[in-house]
Amino acid sequence: MKSHAMKRVALAAVAACGFGGAAHAQVSGDVVKIGIITDLSGLYADIDGTGGVEAVKMAVADMKGQVAGKKIEVIFADHQNKADVAASKAREWFDTQGVDMLLGGTNSATNLAMAKVAAEKKKPFISIGAGTARLTNEDCTPYTIHYAYDTVALANGTGGAVVKAGGKSWFFLTADYAFGQSLQSDTTAVVQKNGGQVLGSVRHPLSASDFSSFLLQAQSSKAQILGLANAGGDTINAIKAANEFGVTKTMKLAGLLMFINDIHSLGLNLTQGMYMTDSWYWNQSPEARAWARRFFEKMKRMPSSLQAADYSAAMHYLKAVEATKSDDADKVMAEMKKAPVNDFYAKGTIRSDGRGVHDMFLLQVKSPKESTEPWDYFKVVAKIPGDEAFTKLADSKCPLVKK
Amino acid sequence: MTDFFGIPLPALLGQLLLGLVNGSFYAMLSLGLAVIFGMLNIINFAHGALYMMGAFLAWIGLETLGLNYWTMLLVAPLVVGVLGILIERLLLQWLYKLDHLYGLLLTFGITLVVEGLFRSFYGVSGQPYPVPDALLGATNLGFMVLPNYRAWVVAASLVVCLAVWALIEKTSLGATLRAGTENPRLVQAFGINVPLMITLTYAGGVALAAFAGVLAAPVLQVSPLMGSNLIIVVFAVVVIGGMGSILGSILTGLGLGVIEGLTKVFYPEASNTVVFAIMAVVLLIRPAGLFGKEK
């Protein structure tokens, strides 16, 4: 009886391998397949999520569903913010689904894991939503592109520009884990380089339910700027409490990792006057507005910078496939690093370390009076040229960079 | 100088007060859990989801029906209470004779369903809920500026907690309830409808959660995840206070809020874990909890 069951399992395993192999051989020739793995249900689902998937589908639709005479397919999955789920899904897709290019959504840990799998399988991987600069430094690979932004660019943007605008003394409210601490130390370096000073900081646990206590400590520092080195719900609840306790009367808030969705969800009353840095804003140019309107028709909300970057990155990849008439990873990677990015999202290049370099924007949240239409939330205070925003190629720790 | 381990006394008083505000939420939620466990023997994991639902109902009431904060403070607990009746009648009542684990699993399942529904309808960033006009502004207490709304939270939750405690411990209705849990068959023999009593107890317990949710709406972002962030701490509070002990859960809730507040000053990194450290110590020394009785 037992051996019988085991035989069946073995047979099933053999059959599964056979089908997997067959599917691979069949698919890779006729279809260009783009896979998206992102947070579709958790705390980052609004800034990328299904909206990001829709943006990629818009790019495919704009190519009329075809590239180099082949059909384009899009598949997507939820990584639930778990690195192991992201990695095993990526592996499964490369092995059995014939995915030709992988787009990584939000969450740095999942993106680092996916980048490793993609490098092992020698397939292009474009990270959109991850903040960590490691993707183009210690953990860079010949197949990774980091397209939209990273924590260094955010620190340079917000830290540098706010100090130049007169915000000389800072206090940090920092999420107590690797991401928060690196955001704080990156920004501290920029603030000090620009002649500002950091008066202190307080570390709060991830997903802290109440921030009032930390904010009182920040207030008593008498600093001009409160830097929020946290993300998502923590940032939102900190801003709420800052308003309630009157911290916003004496300090200006600077969100070090925020997206338009955070502003939308808090409302302008609570966020007016805040600074943040982003790679794109839907109202920054006529082309951006035109695309954003199309996105709004589908999703009933304005796109975040990440969703715009999803479209742009998918387009950049498809154009490279078109140009090389091939989905061979090495040829396409070379083409993507050669051809400039020039669309409504950004004008820039992809460097040899995989870093997408383009202008970043320091944004200030409008007051309710200044806002003239729904989602009209930001004034563009400064444009930070790509060369200044991102780590210089000469300073990159990526071994692929020839020095 | 009036310093206390390097912290100025006024600042310390301020932090104590803030701890009390958070403690009020712990007290109200753990009270509901304790009542439900005491009467139904169910570990109600859905408590966090129903708290979240209370906050969301307040927001929905304001956004779509124009019902203000004060109306929703009454309506939301009623709606959630009715939902509680449905949950108890349709699902929970079949589990009383089984191990606690089944009740825990069922209510955990309810949590996943409720949170999933809200997440798919409203997203995860959360919705803003304004502080009601009457409670806008802040009062300068000398040692700190206390937003009026936070003062109201402490007052409202203390009144509610004490009322529930008095109802259960000091009235004849409460006496019947307590007797019903000790020996349901005997109480039934006196002509009292015990199943109905149990249903209403569950409804009352979850209504408390919804009340706390409405109170929390102006303080926290109204988000589908707000319940699960809080519920684990609340469970720890109940375990420390002693499962089923009414007064125990109120006092422990407030006390732990204050201890957590102090941790935020002296060692902020530990403020999320201090409650669990205390729980571990309490379980080692008094396995039934600080106020619980060994059975």
**Contact residues on chain B for A52, CB-CB shorter than 8 A:** none
pLDDT band at B183 (very low <50, low <70, confident <90, very high): confident
Q: Which of A5-14, A381-390, B109-118 has the lowest mean pLDDT?
A: A5-14
- State phi, psi for A252 to the nearest 5 degrees: -95, 140
At B40 the pLDDT is 83
Which pair of tokens denotes residue B206? 């979850």
Q: Are B203 and B82 in contact (CB under 8 A)?
A: yes
Read off the pLDDT of each residue in A350-360 and give the average, rounded to a whole number. Answer: 96
Contacts of B179 (CB under 8 A, 6+ apart): B186, B187
* Mean pLDDT rounded to a whole number for chain B: 88
Q: Are A261 and A205 in contact (CB under 8 A)?
A: no
**Contact residues on chain B for A212, CB-CB shorter than 8 A:** 18, 21, 150
Dihedral (CA of B265, B268, B271, B277) sign: negative
The pLDDT of residue A165 is above 60: yes
pLDDT band at A403 (very low <50, low <70, confident <90, very high): low
pTM (2 decimals)? 0.77
The pLDDT of residue A107 is above 70: yes
**Contact residues on chain A for B12, CB-CB shorter than 8 A:** none
* Residue B93 per-residue DSSP state: G
Dihedral (CA of A59, A65, A66, A71) sign: positive
**Contact residues on chain A for B264, CB-CB shorter than 8 A:** 204, 213-214
At B128 the pLDDT is 82
Read off the pLDDT of each residue in B56-79 and give the average, rounded to a whole number. Answer: 94
Q: How far is B94 from chain A (nearest CA, A)?
A: 32
Interface probe, candidates B59, B221, B258, B263, chain A, greatest A C-beta count within 10 A: B221
Q: Do B271 and A264 touch (CB under 8 A)?
A: no
The pLDDT of residue A369 is above 60: yes
The rounded Cα B69 to chain-centroid distance in angstroms is 19
Q: How far is A241 from chain B (nearest CA, A)?
A: 7
Q: Are A371 and A268 in contact (CB under 8 A)?
A: yes
The pLDDT of residue A75 is above 90: yes
The pLDDT of residue B257 is above 60: yes
Total CB pairs under 8 A between chain A and B: 100
The pLDDT of residue A28 is above 70: no
Read off the pLDDT of each residue in A174-179 and give the average, rounded to a whole number. Answer: 83
pLDDT digits (tens, 9 = 90+) for A280-303: 999 999 999 999 999 999 999 999
Q: How far is A220 from chain B (nearest CA, A)?
A: 9
Q: Are B214 and B77 in contact (CB under 8 A)?
A: yes
Question: B interface toward A at CB cutoff 8 Å?
Answer: 11, 14-15, 18-19, 21-22, 116, 119, 123-128, 130-131, 138, 144-145, 147, 149-150, 219-221, 223, 225, 229-230, 233, 261, 264-265, 268-269, 271-273
Interface probe, candidates B9, B18, B20, chain A, greatest A C-beta count within 10 A: B18
The pLDDT of residue A372 is above 70: yes
Q: Do A246 and B138 touch (CB under 8 A)?
A: yes
At A25 the pLDDT is 32
Q: Do A209 and B268 touch (CB under 8 A)?
A: no
The rounded Cα B262 to chain-centroid distance in angstroms is 21
Interface probe, candidates B16, B124, B222, B231, chain A, greatest A C-beta count within 10 A: B124
**Contact residues on chain A for B273, CB-CB shorter than 8 A:** 205
pLDDT digits (tens, 9 = 90+) for A240-263: 889 888 898 889 999 999 999 999
Going by their DSSP bridges, the two strands A356-357 and A347-350 should be labelled as antiparallel
The pLDDT of residue A201 is above 60: yes
Name which residue leads in pLDDT, B114 or B243: B114
Contacts of A40 (CB under 8 A, 6+ apart): A49, A50, A53, A76, A77, A78
Listing DSSP states for A120-142 in one string gives HHT--EEE-S---GGGGTTT--T
Q: Which of A116-125, A156-165, A219-228, B103-112 has the lowest mean pLDDT?
A: A156-165
pLDDT digits (tens, 9 = 90+) for B3-23: 666 667 777 888 888 889 889
pLDDT band at A20 (very low <50, low <70, confident <90, very high): very low
- State phi, psi for B272 to the nearest 5 degrees: -85, -20
Residues linked to residue A8 through DSSP beta bridges, in sequence order: none
Read off the pLDDT of each residue in A329-355 and give the average, rounded to a whole number. Answer: 96
User: Cα torsion for B66, B71, B74, B79, to the nearest 10°?
Assistant: -20
At A356 the pLDDT is 96
At B120 the pLDDT is 83
The pLDDT of residue A21 is above 60: no
Interface probe, candidates A212, A266, A270, A377, chain B, greatest B C-beta count within 10 A: A212
* DSSP element (H, E) containing A178: helix A178-193
Distance, CA of B78 to CA of B75 (rounded, Å): 5
Q: Are A252 and A332 in contact (CB under 8 A)?
A: no
Which pair of tokens denotes residue B225? 């995840």
At B130 the pLDDT is 86
